[in-house]
Amino acid sequence: MTRDELKEHILKKYDGLLTPLETGVFDLMCEVKPANLTKVARMLYDDEQLKFDFLNNIAGVDTGEQFEVVYSLSSISNNLRLDFKLVLSYDQAVIDSVKDIWTAADWHEREIWELYGIDINNHDNLKRFLLPDDWDQGYPMRKDWDAPDFVRMPEL
């Protein structure tokens, strides 16, 4: 299945759940509503024609206006790639866990929770992960984060 065929398939079968975005030559990127996350994830995993059985990565993004959470999926058996992202507002920064679909999501979600302060529903292992154990300075990957010894790159 080529990238265009994948797009066709998604438009046909996942109408309203996955919205393909224009991403040029890169892997197909779609947008998903946060409320539909677990449903879409389960469908992509179970779909016989796609079978996205491998979660490459979950990335958090702070654009300065909103949070985005980007999921990168691979299908080992069908040789496919797909990315999709959730858009979250700052005051509604909550997502559902996909840990029970892809086990790899465990650490990625912990990392996002720790560095961005995005809350994860139904995740039973949310505890300090990468930061020092006595860290009390908030969420360092947020755009507006600051600390006494934090030095911002000066504008050149």
Partner 1 sequence: MGLIKKVPVYAEHVPGGGFVATQLESVLSHAQACSMWYLLFATACCAIELMCTGASRYDFDRLGMIFRPTPRQADLIIAAGTITKKMAPRLRRLYDQMAEPRYVIAMGGCTIRGGPFYYDSYAVEKGIDHIVPVDIYIPGCPPRPESLLEGCLHLQKKVKAQKLADWHEK
Report, in Å, the least distance between residue 115 CB and partner 1: 9
- In the set 33, 70, 81, 140, which binds partner 1 (CB under 8 A)? 140
Q: Which of residues 95-134 bind partner 1 (CB under 8 A)?
A: 131-132
Residue 31, both tokens = 């947008």
Least Cα distance to 86 among 104, 98, 103 occurs for 98
Candidates 36-44, 70-78, 106-114, 140-148 — which segment interacts with partner 1 by CB under 8 A? 140-148
156 lies in the site for partner 1, by CB under 8 A: no
Residue 34 or 140 having the CB closest to partner 1:
140
Cβ neighbors of 74 (< 8 A, separation 6 or more) are: 52, 53, 54, 55, 56, 80, 81
d(CA 14, CA 43): 9
Helices (H) and strands (E) in the chain, counts: 3, 7
Residue 8 or 138 having the CB closest to partner 1:
138
- In the set 15, 22, 149, 155, which binds partner 1 (CB under 8 A)? 149
Mind giving me the DSSP string for 24-40?
Answer: TTSS-EEEE-GGGHHHH
- In the set 12, 150, 155, 156, which binds partner 1 (CB under 8 A)? 150
How many other C-beta atoms can be found within 10 angstroms of the C-beta atom of residue 143?
10
Q: What binding mask, one character per residue, do residues 54-93 give for partner 1 by CB under 8 A, x or -?
A: ----------------------------------------
Contact footprint for partner 1 (CB under 8 A): 131-132, 137, 140-141, 145, 147, 149-154
